[in-house]
């Protein structure tokens, strides 16, 4: 039953937050490593011929690629990485795997290829300080992929055709200096480019790879048309996601020769459309996706709709994703997940509707001991509806609880419903966890996004504070036991919280967070430079908005901070440089404020190596226990 709770102009809807103990079950204290150790298996992908599965599994704490038959036989480790997890992989044909890895968190991901039978590894783009991305994996061409690289100029990405057998690279489009992304047609021809001057963006189109580029759409960055893929019957028409002339982004069809919008394929009044999918073999649009309180899908194809309907009957109570298929589209891999589990993988045979379990991702986690992540809404002090999630410790009466507020990174991203190991660990330790999709969070429309512009530390921060104060007013949390923890922008929100509202928090944890808006702007990665003017409009101009940026840079106001702080940083972080944390720590120590500092020399923007994650979360647990002192009457 939903219960509406009111306080002046603020309201919140909480599902099931009555003042009764949720369960009489004794909830054990789950070992911290069980939340954060690498999954037993993850990332399954089906080979194009449908005979084999590739997946990631840990070996000596590092995720490596394995291959086995679809029926689970003859598992073989095919990569031997010991320093860094494999970041991701794809099949290239049915006898080769392409995979990515970076160096100690520098995010300069290089592309490698491995021939499964021979074990031969080729380093296709293993260049110093070069980032590679895949533009088109060309599923109908077993010998080539199209990639982007910033090898020629670190600020921009040229397009190359890579021969995966020989390693030969052929530039097929040289970036003139203002192209931010490329798109191919269904034949793998490079025919769309997005051009930007940092504030305005244009969609460029050409009829073939020998034709000249024509500008078909130009918008200010506040509006966008993002091409997704070409139509299957008319090669001059494309599907795209657009918020031009509307608040919520819709899936539309556009004439790529004129830029004219031909048709709105799908939209809703609540959330932006986030993506669409199609059948590669049958050449039909199958699904459109968006995120509300939970992930949502609407279908356009009876075949795929029938598959989802059958799976929903077979696998109730979980979110279902079709993650991979063979070229014939006769077998699908299915991934399930919910808020209490990392989920499971299954294979599904279309012909006989046979569903067969492959593996659980983290079978050691018992769903019965996990907490519910409940969607919430409340009104901000200036009248915006704010969405988020509240997770209460299982088995506890929701009254006078210690709380950890966990603002997300981005900031132009959002929290979603699903399994979050940090949230579940904190709930298991007796903390309520509040996640806020403050203004600027994505999927809620353009006006909600624009409401965040030049509001770092201001109304964005107020949205977080309003949620906390309401929970305190309703008696759900104890006003003397409020902590805040966030990474990246969430780290900034943590530092801003203890700077601007120093009496609100009992402790704070900043994880790779921005501390000084001036130095942050000066040290952005080279491939962000073309967006600098846009950042000036969204965050602030260091010259025109100097007073504002100074006022809301926590490192410049360390004298206002009295909250105990724990700061963690990766030395190789390309986005939020180590200097952001160094200057914050120095400023705090100079003022005599208690601060703990964890610096990892082999990490970047967030810790990925398992042993570093264990150390960080163990230190977090001790820090929170010291300063929030959760009620220890539970059976821990």
Indicate if the alpha-carbon torsion angle 413, 416, 420, 426 is positive or negative: positive
Q: Which of 387, 408, 605, 627 does the annotation list as catalytic?
A: 605
Decide if 69 contacts 44 (C-beta within 8 A): no
What is the CA angle 225-325-58, rounded to 5?
100
Question: Which band of pLDDT confidence, cut at 50, 70 and 90, is reported for residue 21?
Answer: low
| Bond from prior residue into 598 cis (ω within 30 degrees of 0) | no
Task: Check pLDDT > 80 for residue 466.
Answer: yes
Two tokens, residue 86 = 């494999």
Segment 433-443 shows an average pLDDT of 98
User: pLDDT class for 432, splitting at 50, 70, 90?
Assistant: very high
The catalytic position among 441, 573, 581, 627 is 573
pLDDT of residue 24: 60
Q: Where are the beta strands (DSSP E) in 143-257?
A: 144-149, 158-163, 169-173, 179-184, 190-196, 200-205, 214-220, 225-230, 237-242, 250-255
The pLDDT value recorded for residue 527 is 82
Model pLDDT, residue 530? 85
**573 annotated active-site:** yes
CA distances from 261 to 220, 242, 431, 625 (A): 17, 9, 49, 56
Contact 21, 395 (CB under 8 A): yes
Determine the pLDDT at residue 479.
95
Looking at residues 248-275, what average pLDDT do you find? 97
Cβ neighbours of 635 (radius 10 Å):
9
pLDDT of residue 602: 95
> Is 205 a catalytic site residue?
no
Burial (CB count <10 Å: 0-12, 13-18, 19+), residue 98: buried
Return the axis-axis angle of helices 489-500 and 459-473, rounded to nearest 10°.
70
As a whole number, the mean pLDDT across the chain is 93
What pLDDT was estimated at residue 11? Answer: 27
Helix locations, 501-577, DSSP H: 517-522, 532-538, 546-551
pLDDT at 529: 85
Strands 52-59 and 62-69 come out as antiparallel
Q: What is the CA radius of gyration of the chain?
A: 25
Set out the domains of the chain in order of their start, with CATH numbers: 373-628 (3.40.50.1820)
Tell me the percentage of the chain whose pLDDT exceeds 90. 88
Predicted structure pTM score: 0.91
Give yes or no: 633 in active site: no
**What is the pLDDT at residue 528?**
85
Which of 459, 488, 553, 581 is the catalytic position? Answer: 488
Among 25-29, 144-148, 215-219, 619-623, the range scoring the smallest mean pLDDT is 25-29
How many C-beta neighbours within 10 Å does residue 173 have? 19
d(CA 330, CA 320): 18
What is the distance between the alpha carbons of residues 177 and 392, in angstroms, rounded to a whole number? Answer: 50
The model's pLDDT over 343-368, given as tens digits with 9 standing for 90+, comes to 999 999 999 999 999 999 999 999 99
CA-to-CA dists, residue 234 to 84, 186, 279, 280, 283, angstroms: 44, 11, 16, 16, 12
pLDDT category at 634 given cuts 50, 70, 90 is very low
* SS3 at position 580: helix
DSSP notation for 389-406? EEE--TTS-SSSEEEEE-
Q: Specify the higher pLDDT residue, 6 or 575.
A: 575
Is residue 111 pLDDT above 70, yes or no?
Answer: yes
pLDDT in tens, 603-630: 999 999 999 999 999 999 999 999 997 5
Segment 494-504, tens digit of pLDDT = 999 999 999 99
Give residue 198's pLDDT.
85
pLDDT at 12: 28
Query: Cβ atoms within 10 A of the Cβ of 52, count?
Result: 20
- pLDDT number for residue 20: 52
- Specify the residue for token string 């080729």: 122
**Within 221-376, where are the H helices?**
302-314
- Containing 377, the helix (H) or strand (E) segment is strand 373-379
Q: Which residues contact 335 (CB under 8 A, 6 or more apart)?
A: 44, 320, 321, 323, 343, 344, 345
The residue ranking higher by pLDDT, 470 or 281, is: 281
Phi/psi for 294 (5° steps) reads: -135, 170
Per-residue pLDDT tens for 49-104?
Answer: 999 999 999 999 999 999 999 988 889 999 999 999 999 999 999 999 999 999 98
Q: What is the tens place of the pLDDT at every residue in 181-238?
A: 999 999 999 999 999 998 999 999 999 999 999 999 999 999 999 999 999 998 999 9
pLDDT at 633 over 50: no
pLDDT of residue 3 exceeding 60, the answer is no
Q: Phi-psi region for residue 129, left (φ > 0), alpha (ψ -120 to 50) or beta?
A: left
């Amino acid at each position: 039953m939903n219960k509406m709770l009111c306080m002046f102009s603020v309201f919140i809807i909480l599902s099931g937050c009555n003042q009764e103990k949720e369960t009489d079950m004794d909830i054990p204290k789950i070992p911290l490593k069980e939340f954060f150790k690498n999954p037993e298996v993850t990332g399954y992908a089906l080979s194009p011929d449908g005979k084999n599965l590739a997946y990631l599994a840990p070996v000596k704490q590092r995720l490596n690629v394995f291959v086995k038959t679809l029926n689970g036989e003859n598992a073989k480790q095919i990569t031997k990485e010991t320093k860094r997890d494999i970041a991701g992989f794809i099949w290239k044909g049915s006898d080769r795997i392409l995979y990515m890895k970076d160096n100690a968190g520098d995010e300069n991901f290089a592309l490698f290829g491995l021939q499964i039978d021979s074990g031969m590894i080729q380093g296709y783009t293993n260049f110093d300080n070069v980032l590679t991305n895949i533009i088109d994996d060309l599923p109908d061409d077993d010998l080539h992929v199209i990639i982007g690289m910033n090898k020629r100029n670190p600020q921009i990405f040229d397009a190359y055709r890579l021969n995966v057998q020989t390693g030969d690279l052929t530039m097929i489009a040289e970036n003139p200096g203002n192209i931010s992304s490329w798109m191919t047609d269904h034949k793998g021809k490079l025919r769309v480019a997005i051009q930007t001057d940092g504030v305005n963006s244009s969609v460029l189109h050409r009829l073939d790879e020998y034709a000249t580029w024509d500008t078909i759409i130009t918008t200010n960055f506040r509006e966008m048309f993002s091409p997704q893929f070409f139509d299957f019957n008319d090669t001059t028409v494309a599907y795209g996601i657009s918020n031009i002339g509307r608040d919520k982004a819709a899936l539309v069809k556009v004439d790529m020769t004129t830029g004219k919008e031909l048709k709105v394929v799908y939209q809703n009044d609540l959330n932006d459309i986030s993506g669409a999918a199609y059948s590669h073999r049958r050449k039909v649009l199958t699904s459109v996706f968006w995120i509300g309180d939970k992930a949502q899908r609407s279908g356009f194809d009876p075949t795929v709709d029938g598959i989802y309907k059958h799976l929903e009957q077979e696998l109730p109570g979980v979110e279902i994703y079709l993650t991979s298929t063979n070229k014939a589209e006769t077998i699908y891999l299915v991934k399930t997940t919910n808020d209490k589990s990392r989920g499971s993988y299954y294979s599904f045979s279309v012909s006989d509707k046979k569903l067969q379990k492959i593996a659980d991702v983290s079978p050691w986690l018992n769903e019965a001991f996990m907490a519910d992540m409940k969607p919430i809404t409340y009104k901000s002090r200036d009248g915006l509806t704010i969405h988020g999630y509240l997770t209460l410790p299982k088995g506890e009466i929701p009254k006078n609880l210690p709380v950890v507020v966990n603002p997300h990174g981005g900031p132009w991203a959002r929290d979603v419903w699903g399994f979050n190991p940090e949230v579940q660990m904190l709930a298991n330790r007796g903390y309520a966890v509040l996640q806020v999709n403050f203004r600027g969070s994505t999927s809620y429309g353009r006006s909600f996004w624009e409401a965040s512009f030049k509001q770092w530390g201001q109304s964005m921060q107020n949205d977080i504070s309003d949620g906390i104060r309401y929970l305190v007013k309703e008696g759900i949390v104890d006003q003397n036991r409020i902590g805040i923890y966030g990474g990246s922008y969430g780290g900034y929100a943590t530092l801003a919280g203890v700077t601007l509202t120093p009496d609100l928090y009992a402790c704070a944890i900043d994880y790779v967070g921005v501390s000084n808006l001036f130095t942050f702007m000066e040290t952005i990665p080279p491939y962000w430079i073309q967006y600098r003017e846009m950042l000036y409009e969204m965050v602030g101009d260091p010259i025109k908005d100097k007073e504002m940026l100074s006022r809301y840079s926590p490192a410049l106001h360390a004298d206002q901070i009295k909250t105990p702080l724990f700061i963690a940083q990766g030395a190789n972080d390309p986005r939020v440089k180590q200097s952001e944390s160094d200057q914050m720590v120095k400023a705090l120590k100079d003022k005599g404020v208690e601060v703990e500092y964890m610096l990892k020399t082999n990490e970047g923007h967030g810790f990925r190596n398992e042993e570093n994650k264990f150390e960080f979360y163990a230190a977090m647990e001790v820090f929170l226990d010291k300063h929030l002192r959760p009620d220890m009457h539970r059976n821990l």
